[in-house]
Amino acid sequence: MKKQSLFQRALENSYLLFVFALVISLVIWVYMSFNSPNTDTTFTISDVPIQIELSEASRKDGLQAFTAVDPKATVTVAGNRTVLGLVNENDLSVTASGASINATGDYTLPVTATKRSNRGNFQITASSPASIAVTVDYLKESEFEIEERVTFIVEDGYYGNTVLAYNTVNISGPQTQVQKIKKVIAKADIAESLNKSRDVDAELVLLDENDKEVSKKLLTMSLDTVKATVMVMPEKSVPIEPTFTNKPKKLQITDDMISVTPKSLLLAGPAETLDALSSVQLEPIDFSKLKNEKIVFDELSIKIPENCKSINNYTTARVVLDLSSLVQKDLTVDRFVVEGLDDSYVAEVTSKSINVTVYGAASDIEKLQASDITAVIDTSNAAGKTGSVEMPVTFRFKNETSCWVYGTAQANVSIYKIEE
């Protein structure tokens, strides 16, 4: 007799066949129940925007509602599976009503979710949150200077200075909150010691009149952080050197005749600039304006090299110049020379003499004569002028001397064009 398989024996057994059919029917029923388009179910939609509604009178008055974050709701809907498959946030309206608000302040508003579309038969079964907190106020926008508060240390022989990428920030939000802000600082901390420049993102911190932090949660800022560059440069101390114009070459200014305060300047700058620098100079002192007396120059500008910074923050120096040991002599100069005249012109000096006051060392003044001085008239700036012209005069000494002529002088010159 041929042996039957297990499946053939099961088919001949009516009881087993009944159980098998029942299991298959149950599976089919469950599958059809969960996948039938006519089956009701629930669905949750997240991040539905909450619209805050104020009364028309409040809006016309300029009142606005402010929240710490954009308020969102989670809404649960129920209905036919096919319909719910098409429902999204655009089919829902979630509002927080502030219709009764007519003054500034902090409020808690109830949140209501409703259907916005006629997309079919679905119901809203739940929504959250039930309420939201808002601040009602007038909008204010202000611009604030950013103060740098970056802390760092540099290695010996270096100097650091912080530069911000932006110097101002715009802040808007509730008027009451913005008015609390008295300063904005860019705050960062660099722990390690620096010997080269470093960039860091500095957080903007808002402070009130008592230097207490003002909350940003209701505010909109054009910047939350700002790039701060710590410029690290080598430093060098150099002497401050006075300079002069119209100073006689032979006149020696000894240490007991002049003092400069401060005597030196601590500079930070590029290494190649500092290496080539032996001193910094002051704006020049014009000897033609000096007499034999003690003169004080309280603020002479220091010529700081480009790309360098005065670490001491000195920009001027005080100079005391004592010329009281020198002597004076009055002379009448009658020797003239005209220079700088074009070859097609001729000049005649019509001034006969100039009275001058000369200062210098006693040894030079004693032997100085009027014939040792020539009045030089430079006509290079006459620009083709003819006729009688008054021109400035400088004075030239015959021999190298410690003497100089005080003040300025003019001489009359007649200029004629040579006829061809």
CA-to-CA distance for 199 and 171, rounded, in angstroms? 24
pLDDT attached to residue 1: 46
CA-to-CA distance for 73 and 67, rounded, in angstroms? 14
Q: Using an 8 Å Cβ cutoff, are 250 and 401 in contact?
A: yes
CA-to-CA distance for 136 and 107, rounded, in angstroms? 8
**Closest among 88, 207, 96, 192 to 145, alpha carbons compared:** 207
pLDDT attached to residue 28: 61
Q: Using an 8 Å Cβ cutoff, are 232 and 154 in contact?
A: yes
CA-to-CA distance for 205 and 184, rounded, in angstroms? 6
CA-to-CA distance for 230 and 271, rounded, in angstroms? 17
CA-to-CA distance for 183 and 84, rounded, in angstroms? 53
Model pTM score: 0.64
Question: What DSSP element (H or E) covers 32?
Answer: helix 14-35
pLDDT attached to residue 80: 81
Residue 276 tokens, joined = 């080539």
Q: Using an 8 Å Cβ cutoff, are 281 and 303 in contact?
A: yes
pLDDT attached to residue 9: 58
Tens digits of pLDDT across the chain (420 residues): 455 555 555 555 566 566 666 677 666 654 554 454 555 788 899 999 999 999 999 999 999 999 988 999 999 989 887 777 788 888 889 999 999 999 999 999 999 999 886 666 788 899 999 999 999 999 999 999 999 999 999 999 999 999 999 999 999 999 999 999 999 999 999 999 999 999 999 999 999 999 999 999 999 999 999 999 999 999 999 999 999 999 999 999 999 999 999 999 999 999 999 999 999 999 999 999 999 999 999 999 999 999 999 999 999 999 999 999 999 999 999 999 999 888 888 889 999 999 999 999 999 999 999 999 999 998 887 777 788 888 899 999 999 999 999 999 999 999 888 876
